[in-house]
Structure formats: C-alpha cells, structure tokens
Amino acid sequence: MARMTMIEAIRDAMDVKMGMDEDVVVFGEDVGYFGGVFRCTQGLQKKYGKHRCFDAPINESAIVGAGIGMATYGKRPCIEIQFADYVLPAYDQIVSEAARIRHRSNGQFTAPIVIRMPTGGGIFGGQTHSQSPEAIFTHVSGLKTLIPSNPYDAKGMLIAAIEDDDPVIFLEPKRLYNGPFDGHHENAVTSWAKHEKGEVPEGHYTVPIGKAEVVEKGMDVTILAYGTMVYVAQAAAKENNIDAEIIDLRSLLPLDLDTIVNSVKKTGRCVVLHEATLTSGFGAELTSLVQQHCFNHLEAPVLRVAGWDTPYPHAQEWHYFPGPKRVGKALKRVVEAQ
C-alpha cells in the first residue's frame, strides 16, 4: 500500500488504465505538457506520448465532442474539464449525444467516456471556480455521476469509470485534493499522510459504481453526504455529541437506495448535506426518496443543509460554505424533534 493524495490517486488510476489498455487516451486543457492545473495528469504525456495524452484548445464543447466521437469508434477517452464551472458549453454534447447514443442506436453504439472535473469550493475560487453542478447531470438519463471523497475511492472509482461502457461524470472535490477538510477553515491544513483512506493499493482495483459506504455507524440520525461534506458531517456530529450514522454516497447516479433506506429505517431521522445551492439541488431528490421509502419510520422531517441560493461569493466564502456550525444546528433540530 502506498500513501497518496487524491491528486496522486487519480493520476495513478489513469496510469494503470493507460498501461493496460492502449485505447485509453487522456486530453483536455493543459493536461499534456503542463500536467493539468492541479497536476492530476503530470508525467502521463512523457510516459505514453503525445498521441495518448495531449492538450486541447480552450473549447469545452469541442473537447467533449471529440471524446464522444473517439468513444464511438472504440477508444476510451478520459477527458478533463479544467473546472466544473466550465462544463456548461459542453452540456449539449454530454446530454444530447453522449447520454443518448446507446438508446438512439438501439445498443449498436455506446460512449465509454469519462469526463473528469474539479468541483466545489473552499479554495477562494469565487463564483466561476467553486460551483457544484452535480444535479444537472443526475437529471439526465444515460449518465453516471460519481463523487469520491478520498484517495482510495478516487482511484478505484476512476478505474471503474474508465472501464464502464457508458458515459461517466467524475466530479473531484478540489478542496480534498491534498487532504481531508472538515469545514474548520481556521485550523491548519491536514494531509492524507496519516488518514486511513490515504492508503492506496498499487496496481489495478475497482470501487463498485452505485455502492455507498457507511463511514460512521450510529443510532440518532442518518446523514447523507458526499465529497467534502462527508468530513463536515463527521466534525459536526462529534462536536455536538450526536451518534450519527454517516453515509458517503460516492455514486449519485446510480444511487445506492438500499443503504439509505436501511439506515433511515433504523435511525428514524435524516439530514442531507451538499455544498451546491439548496433549490433544486440533489438533496431535494434524496429528501423525496427518503420520504417516499421511509415515511412510516420517520420521527422528524428530513432537513437539508446546503449552499445558499446565490452565486458562490469570494469575499464571504465561509458564510456560504455549509460548515460544522450550520450542520450541527440541523442535527440538533432533527434529533430533538418530538
């Protein structure tokens, strides 16, 4: 087992698959010679050549469109959108082409393409480098949407995504690239060096798509979270002495509904966390599913804690970010409800 940051684990996943399969190609803005803005592809061009790891123009629609074309011809592109905020020009290609090819061709063609992109805030990126757009992808039939929260999952999930025969949106919480973050921005930065999930096996392994992980067992309340919010949930529960069962969803679509339902039926209470804006966020879908499948077991209304319905503010980053204080208030409200 090696110690890795999430950046290194993501790079290692691409390295493993490029070494195993010549049809795997990596490209995007600055991913070749420069190694990507976060260095996730550093060294891949030198190792595999410019024909398998290369730079693309600043044109997200063209990057994704070219990847879809390559995928239908048998390649397995793993492309990078430099920030999730920049994906919107490519949205038509993703929704109208990649997600529909299997259905439209009656199964004659598929689009085995992975679209990687850094997501979320916590790095003072402002409104154009901090958004969390996962809900616009989970709304689309034909896509799979994944968000790892640690290096171990990041490598295993990315390998599984590259091997999948359908398009996968792979969102990488950029605040977690170099270490876990519990929302306490005033504290010193921590690294993955001593975290159990910083241990990453060498070589090939996969983390199943569509399977959540119960990262903390508890009886008071179920917390549904993903990405950075997994660590915020742990901090909030600990600081408020609440015996919470915390589920890291990992895969938003397909969703591991069985794990969610079994937990909520046990605890009778549920809080849903995400960094994206509240209105029409993925938390609304989770809340609806919990109400639908666990209604007779609920002891209190399901609560959501999310970003505010505003652009992500640079100067007020920590007022927007759903930190442990806001999450703690929601947990106490749900647990104390009669």
By annotation, the residues acting in catalysis are 129
Q: At what angle do helices 257-267 and 282-294 cross, to 10 degrees?
A: 60
Distances, alpha carbon 283 to alpha carbons 30, 249, 278, 280, 290, in Å: 33, 12, 8, 8, 10
Burial string for 139-172 (b: 16+ CB within 10 Å, else e) reads ebebbbbbbbbbbbbbbbbbbbbbbbebbbbbbb
In angstroms, the CA 163 to CA 120 distance is 26
Dihedral sign computed on CA atoms, order 147, 149, 152, 153:
negative
Q: Which helix (H) or strand (E) holds 91?
A: helix 91-92
